[in-house]
Amino acid sequence: MKVPVGFTAHGSPMNALGGTPFAAALERWAPALLVGARALLVVSAHWETHGVALTGAAAPDTIHDFGGFPEALYRLRYAAPGDPGLAVEAAQLLAGAGVEARVDPDRGIDHGAWSPLRFLRPDADLPVVQLSLDRKRSLAELVEVGRALQPLRERGVLVLGSGNVVHNLRTADFANREASVEGWARDFDSWVKTRLLDWDLPKLAAPEEGPSGRNAHPTREHYAPLLVAAGAAGPGSRVSFPWEGFEHGTISMRCVQFD
């Protein structure tokens, strides 16, 4: 069965505690996104490497890769199994496309992965493997990384990007989750939506050309997982948006499903 491809927002680590409209939206989205999935290959904004890497631990740790938050966040665990065999399989697919990838037997799962998965798959019963973002590759080249992983869809592996369509922490109002959305942030979010619906990946791979693109992403790591996911989905995919909205005024929580 050919499974979907997804892109989820994750926003502030505080989202992992739940009780928000976004967490409820992830719970509602889960049945459609995870239909037929036997494992998850997650591309998180929070793992950047030189070269491509994959987690190969059989029981990956929960990484709390943030600081200054309430103690309750650090007590959270997402005890999903890993899948060393899937890590090797993905590395082989990448190698076939000329992308060398190494398997890291020790690295755990960061909050870009486990924070949304707490609501998408609270039972933590599907194996999870993470794929890193290669700092050396352009966004267009990251589309090709995703494209190499397309065969996994036919094998029941859900490729899931995790980041944010708009992510500029310097402009966010962290005192108010429901802050009014800044116009420039809404404009860029709408631009991405249109480019996805038009399946214009070359323009998506040049976000600086979008309205306020450099302000929407002073750094690229929260945008890049969307490009990997789009590459893994491939042309002809039906694009839908299970959740559209903002938190803290300038953090887009848009989620995307590719069928």
Sorted by where each begins, the domain ranges of the chain are 5-258
Tens of pLDDT, residue by residue over 150-193, are 999 999 999 999 999 999 999 999 999 999 999 999 999 999 99
Q: What is the mean pLDDT of the chain?
A: 97
Rounded mean pLDDT, 223-229 = 98
pLDDT, residue 222, reads 98
Tokens 């799962």 found at: 109
- CATH architecture, domain defined by 5-258: 3-Layer(aba) Sandwich (3.40)
Task: List, in sequence order, every residue forming a beta bridge with 252; answer none if it has no partner.
Answer: 246
pLDDT at 1 over 90: no
What phi and psi values does residue 38 have, to the nearest 5 degrees?
-105, -15
Residue whose C-alpha is closest to residue 149's, from 160, 159, 140? 159
* % of residues, the chain, pLDDT over 90: 99
pLDDT at 244 over 90: yes
Tens of pLDDT, residue by residue over 183-220, are 999 999 999 999 999 999 999 999 999 999 999 999 99
pTM over 0.95: yes
Tens of pLDDT, residue by residue over 104-143, are 999 999 999 999 999 999 999 999 999 999 999 999 999 9
Rounded mean pLDDT, 88-100 = 97
pLDDT at 43 over 90: yes
Residues in the chain, total: 259
Rounded mean pLDDT, 61-86 = 96
Q: What does the block give as tokens for 57?
A: 């631990």
Tens of pLDDT, residue by residue over 59-70, are 999 999 999 999
Listing DSSP states for 54-123 in one string gives EE--SS--B-----S--HHHHT--------HHHHHHHHHHHHHTT--EEEESS--B-HHHHHHHHHHSTT
